[in-house]
Structure 1
Amino acid sequence: MSDTPDTPPDGFEFVVTGSGVELAVKRSGEGPAVLLIGGLGMPSVTWDISGLPGSLVDAGFEVITYNARGVSPSSAPDAPYSVADLADDAAALLDHFEVGPTIVIGYSMGCYTAQSLLRSRRELVQALVLFAGLQPSPISAMVGEMELGLIDRYGEVPREVLVFEQLLTTLHHPLLQDPATVTGWQQVLSAGYDSLWTAPEGFRGQLTASQQWITSGEPTPEHLAAIDVPTLVLAFEHDLFFPPDLCAATARQIAGAEFAQIDGVGHGGIFTGPGDSAARITEFCRARRGL
């Protein structure tokens, strides 16, 4: 397992799970707990760009964010990982802080973790928000297969390949047609490449977990029908990984689930143009307070 810093960054604390994984966690606000679970390789600071943590704190919630195993400065166990492993990590955080039933919000791959957490530790989950991550598309499977194939052949995914792929899937068409925007995002994504992962095992581990979820046919109709907590599903209009039509159809298999589309952005809309997603999620959480 890769080492983590001796002291966490400002505002964070380290929590060690039962399996020995050290997670960098940040808590803010007071009130009923909301756990935010990020996507593949997503540092928790990305949530701040969306405005969601601040909106929830202002609404009287305690917000818990963390960097999943493999994302710096959390530790990176040896790969492979499973979505069940990631859900166990999330459960360990809720057990550690003794917050009781919690509203769980997942983004992208974090939606896989949130669903797995509900299955394994139902008593910890009060409600679900599945944000840009309910129903993966064939493109999701193709990208994961390509990346794992490159790692198997060459030991890594070249930086240039990752940056190009992230540009095409994160930004929507009008942004991709603007040279200044593309150049700016290319520089941002390239600069963060080396500091994102604690170790290469973190990337391979999370990627393996994501791909196993997709290739196993998740979320299955049986698992969707078994979701028995209030659920909000959000999707971005131009999301190639989780298209809104697919997410809307899948959401209809969850009893009583609410669905909304956030217009005008692609999968990276959480930071390029989150629209009213923070307001929608905050209102959903308010309505479930104390249930």
Structure 2
Amino acid sequence: MSFAKVNGGVVHFSDDGPRRAPVLAFINALGSDFRIWDEVASILSRQFRLIRYDKRGHGLSESGPDRYDMADYARDLSALLDRLEVARATIVGLSIGGVIAQELYRQRPDVFVALVLSDTAAKIGNDESWDARIAQIEHAGIEAIADSILERWFTADFRARRSEDLAGWRAMLTRTPTQGYLAACGALKRADLRPYAGAIEVPTLCLVGEDDGSTPVPLVRETAALIRGCRFEVIKGAGHLPNLEQPETHAQLIAQHADGAFQKPAAIV
């Protein structure tokens, strides 16, 4: 385990793979830690340097104050990349991680070689949906929403055939610090990156599981349409977390996109 104090808080992170290889930096979904990338990382570890971390209020990272915004999450990753002396990377954001990635691009476009937005959007949910989730958690804890979240995360086939894995990921979700989860819900409620999506100029890939119940295919497609030249792909046999249901396909699409971007000559500014 590795820890670093960045942007005023301690972050738990992993930095694996060849030091001189192209860098992939992964940002996790709401209610998860960086273990959700284990299978994808095992596939990509010989080809890329892989940076994974627990966003604030999740996993083993500190939470910080009760309220923070998407800009705070982005500054955490920006500071971590600087601490690890990573000048440029392909940023891979899943769910809230994709919103963080878009905010990071708004702050630090210089750090991007390419962008992968998986099962995410420039705007997720609305005030009413986030207020209802926050109220339910404040009343009865994350346990009260766990089953409905898992239904949106995973396909019916996964839930039926892989009950042991489902139990493990449920435990990860319900053991997320409540304060960190609620703060992230508030940040998502306030975040709207739609006005900035058109300014993204690096090669961008939008991915979505065909049965994603959290950020459905049409929503992800809408965000892809805002980004010039964005490639859009639907992953069959996957819900909201294709990195867990279809890790080989997910890894292959990420690798192809990153490889193509790293091989392009850097723009002259």
Tell me whether the two structures share a fold, i.e. TM-score over 0.5.
yes
Deviation at residue 192 of structure 1 after TM alignment:
3.3
Matching of residue 146 in structure 1 with residue 132 in structure 2: yes
SS of 1:73 mapped into structure 2: coil
The two structures, once aligned, show a CA RMSD in angstroms of: 2.2
Distance 1:158 1:236, change over 3 A: closer
Q: For 1:131 and 1:270, how far apart are their aligned partners in 2?
A: 9
Q: What count of residue pairs does the alignment treat as equivalent?
A: 262
Q: Which moved more, 1:241-250 or 1:188-197?
A: 188-197
Q: 2:172 aligns with which of 174, 188, 192?
A: 192
Matches within 5 A, 1:75-90: 75-90=62-77
Match of 1:169 in 2: 152
Per the alignment, residue 226 of structure 1 pairs with: 199
Aligned-pair distance for 1:42? 1.6
Please name the residue that 2:255 is paired with: 282
Stretches of structure 1 lacking an aligned partner (at least 5 in a row): 1-11
Corresponding residue of 1:38: 28
Partner of residue 17, structure 1: 6
Is the aligned partner of 1:209 residue 2:184? no
**2:76, 2:172 → 1: CA distance?**
25
The answer (yes or no) to whether the contact 2:91–2:114 under 8 Å persists in 1 is: yes
Structure 2 unaligned residues grouped into runs of 5+: none
Q: How many percent identity over aligned positions? A: 26
**Counterpart code for 1:165:** S
Q: Is the 8 A contact 2:237 2:245 kept in 1?
A: no
Distance in structure 1 (CA, Å) of the matches to 2:42 and 2:248:
15
Structure 2 residue matching 1:15: 3-state secondary structure? strand
SS for the counterpart of 1:68 is coil
Query: For 1:46 and 1:237, how far apart are their aligned partners in 2?
Result: 19
Specify whether residues 136 and 275 from structure 1 end up closer, same or farther in structure 2 by C-alpha distance, changes over 3 A only.
farther
What is the rounded CA distance, in whole Å, between the counterparts of 1:145 and 1:40 in structure 2? Answer: 16
The reply on whether 1:56 has 2:44 as its aligned counterpart is yes
**What TM-score results when the alignment is normalised by the length of structure 2?**
0.88
Structure 2: distance between partners of 1:288 and 1:169: 32
Q: Where has structure 1 moved over 6 Å in runs of 4 or more? A: none
